[in-house]
Chains A and B, each alone.
Chain A
Amino acid sequence: MRLLRYIAGRLVVYALVVVFGLTVLFFVPRLGPTDPIEAMLAKVASQGAYMDASQVDALRQSLADTFGLSGSLLEQYWAFIKRILLTGDFGPSLSMYPTPVMELIMNALPWTFGLLLTSTLIAWVLGNFVGLLSGWKPESSSSRVMEGVAICLYPIPYYILALVLSILFSYIWQIFPLTTTIRGAPWSWNLVTSILWNSFLPGASIVIVVFGWWVISVKAQTTALKEEEFVRYARLKGLGDGRILARYVLPNAILPQITFLALQIGLMFNGSLITEILFDYPGLGLLIYTAVLQGDFNLLMGTISLSVIAVATATMVIDLIYPLIDPRIRHR
């Protein structure tokens, strides 16, 4: 019952956050100077098809009707919120009309999700490992080197790393593919390796940066933990370094990182967007970018709404999971 109340409270906040985000999203583009219909017309015109003026006018009217961009702002707003929250329908893409936005997003989402999830996990595991060791033995030369590396890597912006990596490994040493080419029957080993192969560099550029961040943060955590009384007590019990590290420091160092993870998700998502754009990686980021370039309102709304919802959801899930992991909160 208490658990239910807690979850309910968290869900209410979550819902409010989502609605808040969607509201921001609805109004921002409508304050902008782009008229999607004109953008669309210009796109048709720039592809060279000849139309005389009356034809263009006719097309303009028919576009306005199909896109449903009529009605007062408030009406559009309610329709927008209702449609997204109740039916999950973002309407058809304008630039790839009539493909539903949801279909495009669903194609892209697994890519972003997979990329972020795996690279975050790898970076998290590696970063925690290295951070733990270098925090535990800060005076050893290997941990100094690792920390130096982390300090140098962490501040590098994703896009710089993405650029450098693709020049290095896709051109100078042609180890990884230049563009995403996925082949193989569904659910086959070939498909899996193909996906891994193509995701390696984008993933690496995220891993390297995030890794640095984790190293620094875990190192600080570990250094603080070393001074903790229970660690000292464990040492005075005559426990070996390995045992203290594994059973006393590690769990206590990792636990707070989970909350950090919740705070970082938004930032990491930002990073993955840039990475995707630079690697031409077929995820949500590239879709957003495409939508921007094409002035595709519905697609923009859809992708960005989904980003907001996804990040809010991930944050909420972590918030909900955390108490289940930490015995101090679990058992009261």
Chain B
Amino acid sequence: MRILKLFENAPFRLYLGLFLVALFVLVGAILPWFAPADPLVWYTTPRNQDPSWTYPLGTTSLGQDVFWLLTWALRNSLILGLLVAFFSTLIGVFLGLAAGYAGGWLDRVLSFLMDALLCIPSLPILILMAALFGGQLALPIVGVALVLFNWPYPARQVRAVALTMREREFVNVAWFSGESSVRILVRHIFPYIAGWSAANFINTVLVGISTESALAVIGLSSAQQATLGTMIYWAINYQALLAERYVWVGAPVLAIVLMFIGLFLVSSGLSMRSAARRMSV
């Protein structure tokens, strides 16, 4: 209960989340460099080992070290999630600001695009693409497709904010100070949505990782790259669940869940903190 009580406290929530995320970034970004062998290669270890000192998380039915495989999977999933989030947030924020601030036909066209893309369920189309392009659907393409479907969320929100911002007096003051439209967007309006953008960024990381792994689990992603999804895919392919090799299938699942919780705590902690700061201003 004490732990739960601390959750109400934005900083603690934030720090716990940051701790989890930092842990994953550490595992995903640094540890892969220390892998004793390419964990993707089969039969570098004995098969189906239980966790031990040599193999902290055991080995797969393919003779891969689950621990090192997990570090690689985390790295790739994180990179994918971060890139998808970065580009969708960037594009979304930029287009949303442009639409909201400029108004007129640009706003109409962009708003239509946003609404249209929001209405189109992305997964069927990704499934379609994955199926049609077969194994060619490499991670970068998955990433591009995800960006395509994810920018409208921030764009729509940012547009709404920008619309209200346009009515704020300081924007007019900025204009009378001779500031250019771009500068007004970037220097004057953007700071107000920066906190929100950060939360959105984190959510999009989640969406990116989860969508890729969903595709992977039904066998439609690039099965040869180590991602959390493909790890689950291979584990299920080799019936790890029924064979009670829970560590193999459980490690990526737990990693996803914990990473999600971590990222979620960060994003909600951030928004709580920015709400608190707004109140104190």
Contact = CB atoms under 8 A, between A and B. Distances in A.
Please indicate whether A and B come from the same complex rather than being unrelated chains.
Answer: yes
Interface of A: 13, 16-17, 20-21, 24-25, 28-29, 31-34, 138-139, 141, 144-145, 147-148, 151-152, 154-160, 163, 167, 216, 263, 266-267, 269-270, 273-274, 277-278, 288-289, 292-293, 295, 300, 303-304, 307-308, 311-312, 315
Given A155-B263, A307-B124, 12 more contacts: A21-B116, A21-B119, A28-B128, A32-B133, A144-B1, A144-B8, A148-B4, A155-B260, A157-B256, A160-B257, A163-B241, A300-B131
A154 B264 CA distance: 9
Interface residues of B, number: 46
B121 interface: yes
Tell me what chain B mostly uses at the interface: helix, strand, loop, or mixed: helix
Interface of B: 1, 4-5, 7-8, 112, 115-116, 118-125, 127-134, 136, 153, 206, 210-211, 213-214, 217-218, 220, 232, 236, 241, 253, 256-257, 260-261, 263-265, 268
Contacts of B220: 292
B120 to A, nearest CB: 5
Across the A-B interface, give the 4 residue pairs with the lowest CB-CB distance, nearest first: A32-B132, A155-B260, A270-B123, A292-B131
Contact of B125 (A31, A159, A295, A304): A304
B218 A274 contact: yes
Given A16-B112, A16-B116, A33-B134, A273 B124 contact: yes
A311 B8 contact: no
A328 to B, nearest CB: 17
B219 to A, nearest CB: 10
Given A273-B124, A273-B127, A289-B218, A216 B268 contact: yes
B4 A144 contact: yes
Contact of A145 (B4, B129, B232, B261): B4
A112 to B, nearest CB: 11
A157 B254 CA distance: 11
Contacts of B241: 163, 167
Contacts of A34: 131-132, 134
A28 B118 CA distance: 18
Contacts of A157: 210, 213-214, 256
